[in-house]
């Protein structure tokens, strides 16, 4: 079970006009893996992540999600996206909905879950976060850390097979980073497959099973977390780690 590939990236390239952002990347992600992606700004980390659920359309190559080629004609991308959760740097909670509706709108409208059932499930998640008193709040009334934890729960409400995180703590005040990372750690422990773009080196080292170094549109290093930080091989990674650690 541990060995089943959930996402297979094949010869993925992405250009923005003349700018080649991703260059022929092929890589696999296994079920229950927690993979961190680090790299310098502009290296293509966000673009790579956004290609995995087709928020960006690959220029060439393919993304196989649980065996389905997401770029193939006739594939219902909306159906596939239900199974791929995404957490953004700027939370992107639906501003016109309160917390409860943010959590329940997708399961109710897309999965046709009963409203009561969805609300009970949402309440359960909120209680675990200690945020049950915030159910009626609107996003503008929440702190960054609260927003991001609720955004994670919004994705979890759909019972996704994979969760993608794009710098989930980069827009947070330092004192709120911990509470979000804690939720992510619990999620990792529960066996969720996670792909995380992050600048939190300590978190990457503690929680990930694997770490990728994405630089200049290529995966320059792909190693276990321990190997990655203690015996980096790529010269660019070595100089990158020198700078950030």
Partner 1 sequence: MSFFEQILALLVRYYPYFLDGVKNTLIISALSVVLGLFSGTLMAVMRMGRIKPLKWIAVAYIEFIRGTPLMVQLMFIFYGLPMIGITFPDVSFIPNFSRFMAGVVAMSMNSCAYIAEVIRSGIQAVDVGQMEAARSIGFKSGESMRLVILPQAVKNILPALGNEFVTVIKESSIVSVIGISDLMYGTNGVIAITYRSLPALAIAAIMYFIMTFIGSRLIAILEKRMNHAR
Which residue ranges make up the site for Mg ion (CB under 5 A)?
46
Find out whether 196 and 35 touch, Cβ atoms under 8 Å. Answer: yes
44/58 with CB nearer ligand ATP? 44
- Per CB under 6 A, the segment of 36-44, 103-111, 132-140, 146-154 that binds ligand ATP is 36-44
Taking Cα atoms as reference points, which of 216, 217, 213 lies closest to residue 204? Answer: 213
15 token code pair: 């250009």
105-124 footprint of partner 1 as x/- string (CB under 8 A): xx--xx--------------
Residue 70 touches partner 1, criterion: CB under 8 A:
no
* Cβ at position 110, least distance to partner 1 in Å: 5
43/58 with CB nearer ligand ATP? 43
Distance CA 197, CA 29 (A): 14
48/65 with CB nearer ligand ATP? 48
Distance CA 193, CA 1 (A): 13
Distance CA 156, CA 148 (A): 12
Residue 55 touches partner 1, criterion: CB under 8 A:
yes
Looking up tokens 């909306």, which residue turns up?
A: 78
Find out whether 79 and 65 touch, Cβ atoms under 8 Å. Answer: no
- For partner 1, the binding residues (CB under 8 A) are 53, 55, 78-79, 81-82, 84-86, 88, 90, 92-97, 105-106, 109-110, 138, 151, 154-155, 158
């Amino acid at each position: 079970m541990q060995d089943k590939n959930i996402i297979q990236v094949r010869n993925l390239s992405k250009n923005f006009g003349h700018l080649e952002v991703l260059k022929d990347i092929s890589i696999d992600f296994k079920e229950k893996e927690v993979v961190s992606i680090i790299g310098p700004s502009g290296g293509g980390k966000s673009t790579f992540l956004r290609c995995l659920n087709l928020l960006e359309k690959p220029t060439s190559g393919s993304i196989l999600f649980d065996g389905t080629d997401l770029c193939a004609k006739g594939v219902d991308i909306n159906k596939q996206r239900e199974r791929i959760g995404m957490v953004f740097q700027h939370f992107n909670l639906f501003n016109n909905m309160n917390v409860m509706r943010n959590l329940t709108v997708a399961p109710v409208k897309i999965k046709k879950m009963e409203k009561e059932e969805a609300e009970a499930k949402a309440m359960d998640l909120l209680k675990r976060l200690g945020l049950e008193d915030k159910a009626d709040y609107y996003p503008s009334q929440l702190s960054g850390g609260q927003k991001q934890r609720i955004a994670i729960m919004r994705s979890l409400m759909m019972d996704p097979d994979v969760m993608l995180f794009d710098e989930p703590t980069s827009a947070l005040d330092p004192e709120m980073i911990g509470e979000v990372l804690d939720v992510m750690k619990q999620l990792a422990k529960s066996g969720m497959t996670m792909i995380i773009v992050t600048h939190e080196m300590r978190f990457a080292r503690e929680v990930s099973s694997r770490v990728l170094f994405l630089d200049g549109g290529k995966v320059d290093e792909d190693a276990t977390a321990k190997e990655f930080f203690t015996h980096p091989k790529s010269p660019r990674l070595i100089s990158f780690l020198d700078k950030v650690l």
